[in-house]
Structure 1
Amino acid sequence: MNLSLLDPFAVAKEYPDTLIQTLAYGHSTQIRFSQKGDYLASGLADGIILIIDTDTNSTIQVLRDHTRAITSLCWSKCGRYLLSSSRDWKVNLWDLSSCKVIRSCNFECPVWCSVMNPANKFQFVAALVDNDPVFVDVENEPKITQLATSPYGVENPPRQSTLTVNFTPDAKYIFTGTSKGWLNVIETSTAQLVRSLNVCGSNIKNIEISPNSAKLAVNSSDRIIRQYTMPKLEVPVGEWEFELENRYQDAVNRLQWNALRFNHNSEYLCASTLGATHDVYIWETALGSLIKILEGSNDELLAVDWNYRKCWIVASTMDTGTLFIWSVVIPQKWSALAPDFEEIEQNIDYEEKEDEFDYVDEDDMNKQIEEEGEEVDILRREEVDARGFPFVDSFVIDSVPVSE
């Protein structure tokens, strides 16, 4: 009912523009929305993970096992499982039906980040500090497969380490970024390096692949975000072409970019900043033009995530860990429910029509309604919401009272 009151032109807007709320639930270091967007996982500096209901902005679960700051979070598609990595050298797989760790893997060094296999919740890839990345299967006993760091087809490459990893949405390939600016492509089924691309000469900090597998964004320490066209994953790897579409940078303030996120159809890209300004930048990916700067934070921004179903962008600050939420402020439009409803700015004297309140036979009225239109089906579930996104079933997390 509430969605029906919204202005359809405002609802169609694809990116947030207004700071609507701030949340202070501990010092947040990592944030990630579930696939449906109904829950937000917030990893804190002390190792605690909070599950926040995005409808009420209240904490419904507290996950305790890590002892140091959370470095990455990743949801399963169904919303029941959560993968977390921490500076305590450990990666945990949580079952949110019981809110307990069902699988855990300890390493001999800190973990930069870990990403769950979209096709198998018991598999993940992790980037380790001063070590090669690993592909891990924890369905039974942990099986660790070491992945290559040196670029494909390069003789005597300089010594380098992998800093970031990511899966393609179809889980067929793993993309990794090295400290020397190489983008490596690894086949998931064989764990073999099959392609490399020299992006830049500095650290690759983030690799972001759009949900529709159309675009690829690479964030590096040279203060430039490079946007590529994703090759068609169904063609052989040897025929892939990475076409550089846009380069995003702030030549005036020389900003470093911390985290990246595409929206659902890769039309927009947002990035959090580290430097002179404390904002979130949003670009249009087709032309590479800056369309919005989300302001409001007084602190440098760290992690960022985009909830396209609610049209939210959330970013965490570096010093305090406060969460800033930007959204679209949509005025309610009551005429959406009744076409003959007239909205007025101030009270007026209403003149009653002669036959306006005359008695009308109920049978005649029902007959007129039947002639004017079809019967409304109130039992069948709608397939899409007010913004055109399909409804998806997602796991419902039980809420428990959370002590302060």
Structure 2
Amino acid sequence: MNLSLQDPFAVAKEYPDSLIQTFQYGHSTTFQFNKKGDYLASGTSDGSIVIYDLSINGVICLMESVHSRPITSLSWSSCGQYLLSTSQDWTCKLWDLNNCETPLKSILCDGPIWSGMINPNNSQEFVLSLFEDKPIYYRNEVVKLETEPEITKHLTLVSVFTPDGQYIFMGTNKGYLNIISTKDLKLVHSFKLANSNIKNLVISPNGRKLAVNSSDRIIRQIIVPDLINDDVENWEFEVEHKYQDVVNKLQWNSVSFNHNGEFLVASTFGTQSSQDLYIWETSMGSLIKILEGSSEELIEVKWNYPRCMIASNGIEYGIIYLWSVEFPQKWSALAPDFVEIEDNIEYQEKEDEFDIIDEDLLNKKRMEEEDLKVDIITTEKLDARGFDLTSKSFIIPINYEQSLAN
């Protein structure tokens, strides 16, 4: 089969350009897509979790007041069955979405939690960044990570796993980037990137690029070295591009890469342009698109890789805005000889249009074409953009009786 016909985004732009949908169920403080891109989980200010099914654009799971204070972060497991939620109520909870009534694990920390993330290789392990305390790694038990062997009073604000789950990148309030090995939970590398808080760390899905958003109004795009190399002392993190607005001095709220790291999107903070999203092309570092349409300042921004979609939530009303690619219907994809015209034109007869055709020759040609075997059973392993079509993702069960009752 023609893969370009299977995926409409294969021949379109690789970044969204139009606001197509909004979600609002409570005041969304954070949200996250699952790896397959068919679900969106939203954490609200009253401690509830709402899960949307993007195929029907509706709520399929509502976990009311699972936390007593606003939720600060959500993280899906690679398989899509488990969801980690962190909150200002000092707790983090790991949920099995096969049964959302009680958490699989619940941990009470020593303070509010900035963020949490599940290990891509193990859905039962996760890392937490705490407010004014050392970060925590959970592996059958709570382990506090030592990230400041020489420099004291460093607070870890954000932690992210590398795509292979072998290392944890941590950003501090002093502008340092600490790298922890998940094998022995030891600090293997540390260096200074900026003179201010590191607010966001985002690693591209291919593991080649790192985006660092700091309070100095600069987003640094860094080339990630080969982390398989055991010579950690010779790791070199080269700053490839710096993204900033030298005219308006914009502060950036959040950043995110697309599926291959070719584009970077960021939300702005506290200005007249805070309702817009900025998209850069990462190879040259040039601004290519500003997404408009929201009615409030945008906080987090996330990229849904399989659906070529960007989402962001507002700070005032807590609405989730979704941008995607709008592509016109092309009838020529169904009939190759179909031609679209804007105005009436005078038809010109072809020279051989009404010639007498040998029916025997025509039937012979049709028989030869019918003898060609067309495989309509074998499933393609990759789509037009290289996404694995054979990977299985967890499907959240729906209680239809409870839905009808509500």
Same fold, TM exceeding 0.5? yes
CA distance in 1, matches of 2:55, 2:119: 28
The superposition leaves residues 279-304 of structure 1 with CA deviations (integer Å, 9 ceiling, x where unpaired) of 11111111111111111112111111
CA distance in 2, matches of 1:274, 1:43: 21
CA distance in 1, matches of 2:137, 2:185: 8
Which aligned pairs between 1:351-390 and structure 2 lie closer than 5 A?
354=354, 364=364, 366-370=366-370, 374-390=372-388
2:261 maps to: 266
CA distance in 2, matches of 1:183, 1:265: 23
1:214 maps to: 208
CA distance in 2, matches of 1:324, 1:253: 24
1:341 maps to: 338
Q: Which runs of 5+ in 1 are unaligned?
A: none
Q: Given the superposition, is the C-alpha separation of residues 227 and 386 from structure 1 closer, same or farther in structure 2, using an over 3 Å criterion? A: closer
1:86 maps to: 87
Which aligned pairs between 1:129-278 and structure 2 lie closer than 5 A?
129-138=131-140, 143-150=141-148, 152=149, 154=150, 157-236=151-230, 237-276=232-271, 277=273, 278=275
Give SS of 2:340's match: coil
CA distance in 2, matches of 1:368, 1:347: 38
1:313 maps to: 310
Contact 1:76 1:116 in 2 (8 A): yes
The superposition leaves residues 183-202 of structure 1 with CA deviations (integer Å, 9 ceiling, x where unpaired) of 11111111111111111111
In structure 1, what residue type is equivalent to 2:381? E
The equivalent position to 1:287 in structure 2, one of 284, 287, 295, is: 284
Contact 1:11 1:387 in 2 (8 A): no
The superposition leaves residues 9-29 of structure 1 with CA deviations (integer Å, 9 ceiling, x where unpaired) of 873421111111222222111
2:55 maps to: 55
In structure 2, what residue type is equivalent to 1:395? F
The superposition leaves residues 363-382 of structure 1 with CA deviations (integer Å, 9 ceiling, x where unpaired) of 756514236xx321111112
Contact 1:5 1:334 in 2 (8 A): no
Shift of 1:3: 8.7
How many corresponding residue pairs? Answer: 394
Q: Given the superposition, is the C-alpha separation of residues 9 and 50 from structure 1 closer, same or farther in structure 2, using an over 3 Å criterion? A: closer
In structure 1, what residue type is equivalent to 2:139? D
Give SS of 1:367's match: helix
CA distance in 2, matches of 1:172, 1:4: 35
Contact 1:118 1:169 in 2 (8 A): yes
Shift of 1:77: 1.0
CA RMSD of aligned residues (A): 2.7
Which aligned pairs between 1:20-59 and structure 2 lie closer than 5 A?
20-59=20-59
Q: Given the superposition, is the C-alpha separation of residues 38 and 362 from structure 1 closer, same or farther in structure 2, using an over 3 Å criterion? A: farther
1:399 maps to: 398
Contact 1:7 1:330 in 2 (8 A): no
Compare 54-63 and 355-364 and name the one that shifted more: 355-364
CA distance in 2, matches of 1:8, 1:52: 23
The superposition leaves residues 259-278 of structure 1 with CA deviations (integer Å, 9 ceiling, x where unpaired) of 11111111111111112111
In structure 1, what residue type is equivalent to 2:108? N
1:121 maps to: 123
Shift of 1:359: 9.0
Compute the TM-score of the two structures, normalised by the length of structure 1.
0.90
Contact 2:280 2:286 in 1 (8 A): yes
Q: Which runs of 5+ in 2 are unaligned?
A: none
Give SS of 2:369's match: helix
Contact 1:43 1:49 in 2 (8 A): yes
CA distance in 2, matches of 1:28, 1:393: 29
CA distance in 1, matches of 2:133, 2:188: 20
Compute the TM-score of the two structures, normalised by the length of structure 2.
0.89
Shift of 1:346: 5.7
In structure 2, what residue type is equivalent to 1:304? V
Contact 1:35 1:77 in 2 (8 A): yes
